[in-house]
Amino acid sequence: MDEEKKEEVENKDEPVFDLGKYDAKSWFKSFFLGAFIGLAIVVPGISGSAVAIIFRLYDKLIYSFANIFRRFRACFLFLLPIAIGAILGFAVGFVLVKLLLDYIPFGLVGFFAGLMVGALPTVMEELKDDKVTTKKGILMALGILIPLIIGAVSVSMAYFDGSYDLVYGLAPESSGGTDYIARFGDFPWWIYVVAIPIGLFLGFSQVIPGLSATAFLMLIGFFRPLVDSVSLTYWKAYPQIFAFYVLLGVSLIAGFILTSKLMTKLFSWNRLLVFRVIVGMSIGSIAAMFLNPDSLGIYLSWAEGIDKRMIVDFALFLPLTVGGFFASNLLVRYGKKEK
């Protein structure tokens, strides 16, 4: 505690958090938070940072990443169960999404969108006592437009250059979506450069409440190709993908740390103003779930002709959307009860 007091004197502008005792209860609470963060990397709609707010761990989480080198031992012990949970959550989420993506793609999008809508009150709760002004309204509108503009541009590019996948097993060879990363040739140098900003934004999305890493990958047309790339067949054909994975992972961690530092500064400057933009981006991301190259592949598959699989997928859309909404809404209510 003496060390923390000394740091507080030396860094008066930054809060020094008591990260709590390293006991079984706090360990499992952090572990479950990590599992949700791992799921959030794969499953759009589950925002790891939104769950951190519900669990009352958000400020401690970004503080730990921002100060990992300055208070290594305390921050490392706090982050360790989160990291273990994140790895497990990512693995489970990835397997489930990979299995379902070819069978009920539209229903899955609906479930993701329902999760995002149900979790939105968690982010908006920060603004419940904040008076709306013209400036704040413009910032929120800007936040809404950002993911929609990205989605519109990515859909246009995917349509005209064929970088989308038809789904339901319909003529996948008619598009270049499956081998989107490799189809540019034998992994040109710029594909590795692209991995860096993508990874940085993925890290950014894990810190900003309401944003989704997978929704962003869908927007730029990289979600399904990355999922499809995880197979022994693909790895044997394109072993260069592992260099892409490494750059993506390192950039993600760097983005997480850098964004944590940035959010610490921004929140100390004007927390409510920053949350206006965050809420806008969360709302825009929900709409953008239906405006991206992966969704384009679904719509164009319908144009090829309707079959039994499509009817089942479409019939499951509404129940899965409602189910996703209630699932995340129950989590929000749990958070309020704990608070």
* HSE value, Cβ hemisphere, 13 Å, CA-based, for 76: 5
Separation of alpha carbons 63 and 61, rounded Å: 5
Contact indicator for 185, 179 with CB cutoff of 8 Å: no
* HSE value, Cβ hemisphere, 13 Å, CA-based, for 202: 29
What CA–CA distances, in Å, run from 274 to 14, 76, 118, 306? 17, 28, 21, 45
Question: Residue 176 has what pLDDT?
Answer: 41
Task: Note the pLDDT tens digit of each residue in 3-36.
Answer: 444 444 444 455 555 666 666 777 877 787 788 7
Q: Which amino acid is at 83?
A: A
pLDDT band at 210 (very low <50, low <70, confident <90, very high): low
Question: Residue 38 has what pLDDT?
Answer: 76
CA-nearest of 265, 284, 279, 288 to 132 is: 279
Question: Residue 51 has what pLDDT?
Answer: 65
For 300-311, what is the mean pLDDT?
Answer: 85
Answering whether pTM is above 0.95, one says no
- Residue 270 CB neighbours (<10 A): 10
Question: Mean pLDDT, the chain, as a whole number?
Answer: 76
Task: Note the pLDDT tens digit of each residue in 234-256.
Answer: 788 788 888 888 999 899 888 88
Contact indicator for 42, 94 with CB cutoff of 8 Å: yes
Separation of alpha carbons 248 and 202, rounded Å: 9
Between residues 139 and 230, which one has the greater pLDDT?
Answer: 139
Q: Which amino acid is at 222?
A: F
How wide is the angle at C-alpha 54 spanned by C-alphas 284 and 90, nearest 5°? 70
Between residues 296 and 6, which one has the greater pLDDT?
Answer: 296
Separation of alpha carbons 219 and 69, rounded Å: 34
Assign 3-class secondary structure to the chain. Answer: CHHHHHHHHHCCCCCCCCCCCCCHHHHHHHHHHHHHHHHHHHCCCCCHHHHHHHCCCHHHHHHHHHCCCCCHHHHHHHHHHHHHHHHHHHHHHHHHHHHHHCCCHHHHHHHHHHHHHHHHHHHHHHHCCCCCCHHHHHHHHHHHHHHHHHHHHHHHHHHHHCCCCCCCCCCHHHCCCCCCCHHHCCCCHHHHHHHHHHHHHHHHHHHCCCCCHHHHHHHCCCHHHHHHHCCHHHHHHCCCHHHHHHHHHHHHHHHHHHHHHHHHHHHHHHHHHHHHHHHHHHHHHHHHCCCCHHHHHHHHHHHHCCCHHHHHHHHHHHHHHHHHHHHHHHHHHHHHHHC
Question: Which residue is associated with the tokens 């499953």?
Answer: 43
Task: Note the pLDDT tens digit of each residue in 74-118.
Answer: 888 888 888 898 888 888 877 887 778 778 888 888 887 887 788
